[in-house]
Structure 1
Amino acid sequence: MRVFVAGGSGVLGRRLVPQLVARGHEVTATTTSAAKLEALARLGAEGVVMDGLDAQSVGEAVAKARPDVIVHQMTAISVGHAGKPDMKHMDRWFAGTNRLRTEGTDHLLAAAEATGVGGFVAQSYGAWNGIRSGGWVKTEQDGVDPMAGTPAEPGMAALAHVEDAVGGAGGAVLRYGWFYGPGATDDLVEPVRKRQFPVVGGGAGYCSWVHLDDAASATVLAVEQRASGVFNIVDDEPAPAAQWLPYLAECAGAKRPMRLPAWLARPLAGEAAVAMMTQGRGFSNAKAKRELGWRPRYPSWREGFKEELA
C-alpha cells in the first residue's frame, strides 16, 4: 500500500517507517525540517516537508502522495520543540502537541476525505492516564482521565478529540503506553540517574509501557488490516511505580530513587505527577492481541529496560 506517515521523523516514526518499508509498502513520511529529508530517505521513505497546523500544507502533501492509508504520528514533545519535560506545567509543555492532536488531526481527516483515503491510524496515549476509579488496569471501553482542574487537562482533552474524531471517521486510534527504546530511553533515564525522579507516596499508581519497536509493529498491523476503533498498545505487565522505577534505576546503574510524600512532591512536581505516581491506572493489551494478532517482542518492561540499558 501507499502509506503516508505524518510525523515520520519523530521518535516513533523513525522506527515505524523501516518496518513499513520492509513489509513492501511505499512510504511518504513528513517532517517540519528540510534538514531531516535525507534521514527519511535513508529509512526508505519519500520525505516531504509539511506543517501539520497549516491546512493547505497538509492538503497539498496528502494530495501529492495519493496514499491508501494515513498514519498520524505528529507531536511536538521533543526538547527542540517543547523544551525539557515539565509535568508541573503540562499545559505549556504539551501546547504544540495538543494543537497537533486537535487542529492537526482535523487537517489530516479533511485531506483524507478530500482525496478519498480509505484508512486512517492515529496516535493516542494510554500509560498512566486511565480513569482514576475502580481497578488498576483499564480496557478500551474506559476513557482517558480528564484530569480536570490540573495542567494536564488540555492534553487529556486533546486525546479525547483524537479518539472522537478519528473514531467517528472509521479509523483506528492507538493508545501507546509510555515509550522507551532508541531515542526515548535516554530522556527517561537521565533524571533517574540524577535522582530527580522520586517515588511519590507509596508509589501505588500504575503505568503501562511499550518499546518503540513494539509500538511500530502494532501500527503496521493496524495499517495492513485497515483497523478501526481504539486499541491499547502496551506491554503485558502494567505495574505500580514502586516496582518499575527502582528496577529502572537498577538497570541504569543508578542509586535507588528517593521517596517523597505526596504533600511535598505536589508543589515541586505538580498535581499530574503526583496523580501518576499515586493513583495512575494502566491499560490492558488484550484487545490488540485478540483483534490485531499483535505480540510484543518485549512482553514486559523488565526485559526491555534491561536490554536497552545493558
Structure 2
Amino acid sequence: MRVFVAGGSGVLGRRLVPQLVARGHQVTATTTSTSKLGFVEQLGADGVVMDGLDPLSVGEAVAAARPDVIVHQMTGISMAHAGKPDLKHFDRWSLPTIRLRTEGTDHLLAAAEATGVPHFVAQGYANWNGIREGGWVKTEEDPLDLHEKTPAHPAMAALRHVEDAVTSAGGAVMRYGAFYGPGATDDQVVLVRKRQFPLVGNGTGYASWIHLDDAASATVLAIEQKARGVFNIVDDDPAPAGEWLPHLAACAGAKRPVRIPPWLARLLAGQVVVTMMTEGRGFSNAKAKRELGWEPRYPSWRQGFKEGLA
C-alpha cells in the first residue's frame, strides 16, 4: 500500500516507517523541517515538509502522495516544540500537541475526504488516564478520564476529539501506553539518576507502558487489516508507580527514588502528577491481541527497561 505517515520523523514514526518499508509498503513521511528530510529518506520513505496546522500544506502533501491510508503520528511534545516538560502547567506545555490532535486531525481528515483516502489510523493515549472509578485496569469500553477543572483537561479533551472524529470517519485510534525505547525516556532517566523523580505517596496509581517497536508493530497490523475502532496498545503488565519507578531506577543504575507526600508533590509539581502517581489507571491489551492478532515483543516493562538500559 501507499502509506502516508504524518509525523514520520517523530519518536514513534522513526520506528514505524522502517517496519512499513520492510513489509513492502511505499511510505511518504512528513517532517516539519527540511533538515530532517535526509533522515526520513534514510528510513526508506519519501520525505516531505508539511505543517500539520496549515490546511493548505496538509492538503497539498496528501494529494501529492495519493495514499491508501493516512497515519496520524503528529505530536508537539519534543523539546523543540514544547520546551522542557512542565506537568504543573500541563495545559500550557501540551498546547502544541493539543492543536495537532484537534486542528491537525481535522486537516488530515479533510484531506483524506477530498482525495478519497479510504482508511485512517491515528495516535491516541492510554497510560494513567482511564476513568478513576472501579478497578485499576481499563478496557476500550471504559471512558477516558477528562480530568475536568485541572490543567490536564484540554489535553484529555483533545484525545476525546481524536477518538470521536477518527472513529466517525471509519478509522482506527491506537491508544498507546507510555513510550519507552530509543529516545523515548532519556529525559526521565536523567531525572531518575539525579534523584529528581520522586515517588508520590504510596505510588498506588497505575500506568501502562509500551516499547516503541511494539507500538509500531501494532500500528502496522491496524494499517494492513484496515482496522476500525479504538485499541489499547499497551504491554501485558499494567503496574503501580510503586513498582515501575524503583525498577526503572535500578535498571538505570540509580539509587532508589525518594518518596514525598502528596501535599508536597502538589506544591512542587502540581495536581496532575499527584493524580498520575496515586490514582492513575492502567489498561488492558486484550482487544488488540484478539482482533489484530498482535503480540508484543516486550510483554513487560520489567524486561524492556532492563534490556534498554543495560
Return the TM-score normalized by structure 1: 0.99
Structure 1: stretches of 5+ with no match in the other structure: none
Moved more, 273-282 or 185-194: 185-194
Tell me the equivalent position of 2:104. Answer: 104
Asked if residue 261 in structure 1 is aligned to residue 281 in structure 2, the reply is: no
In 2, the alpha carbon distance for the partners of 1:157 and 1:195 equals 33
Unaligned runs of 5+ in 2: none
Task: State the shift of 1:105 in Å.
Answer: 0.1
Alpha-carbon distance in structure 2 between the residues aligned to 1:52 and 1:85: 22
Deviation per residue, 1:184-227 (Å, 9 max, x gap): 12122111111111110110000000000000000000000000
Partner SS state of residue 272, structure 2: helix
User: Which residue pairs with 1:237 in the alignment?
Assistant: 237
- Residue 142 of structure 2: aligned partner: 142
Q: Could you tell me which amino acid in structure 2 is paired with residue 302 of structure 1?
A: R
Q: Which secondary structure state, in structure 2, belongs to the residue aligned with residue 173 of structure 1?
A: strand
2:199 equivalent to 1:199: yes
Q: Distance in 2 between matches of 1:59 and 1:187?
A: 35
Deviation per residue, 1:111-165 (Å, 9 max, x gap): 0000110110000100011111110000001121101111110000000000000
Match of 1:90 in 2: 90
How far apart, CA to CA, are the structure 2 residues paired with 1:152 and 1:196?
Answer: 22
User: Aligned AA for 2:9?
Assistant: S
Does 2:255 align with 1:220?
A: no
1:18 is matched with 18
SS in 2 for 1:255: coil
Query: Once the two structures are aligned, what percentage of the paired residues are identical?
Result: 78
For residue 276 of structure 1, what is the aligned residue in structure 2?
276
Distance in 2 between the 1:163 and 1:145 partners?
A: 13
Deviation at 1:228, TM superposition (A): 0.4
Asked if 2 retains the 8 angstrom alpha-carbon contact of 1:185 and 1:308, the reply is: no
On the 8 A contact 1:131/1:145 being kept in 2, the answer is: yes
Are the aligned partners of 2:188 and 2:197 in contact in 1 as well (CA < 8 Å)? Answer: no
Rounded to whole Å, the distance in 2 between the matches of 1:191 and 1:212 is: 21
> Following the alignment from structure 1 to structure 2, what is the Cα–Cα distance between the partners of residues 274 and 225?
39
Name the CA distance, whole Å, in 2 between partners of 1:202 and 1:281.
Answer: 15
Hey, what's the Cα distance between the residues in 2 that align with 1:144 and 1:17? 29
Question: Which deviates further from its counterpart, 185-194 or 157-166?
Answer: 185-194
| Count of residue pairs the alignment pairs up | 310
Alpha-carbon distance in structure 2 between the residues aligned to 1:259 and 1:195: 10
Please tell me the root mean square deviation across aligned C-alpha atoms, in Å: 0.5
Where 1:248 maps in the other structure, the secondary structure is helix
1:82-121 CA deviation, whole Å, 9 max, x = no partner? 1111111111110000000000000000000001101100
CA contact (8 A) 1:51 1:57 kept: yes
2:132 aligned with 1:132: yes
Confirm or deny: 8 A CA contact 2:2 2:68 kept in the other structure. Answer: yes
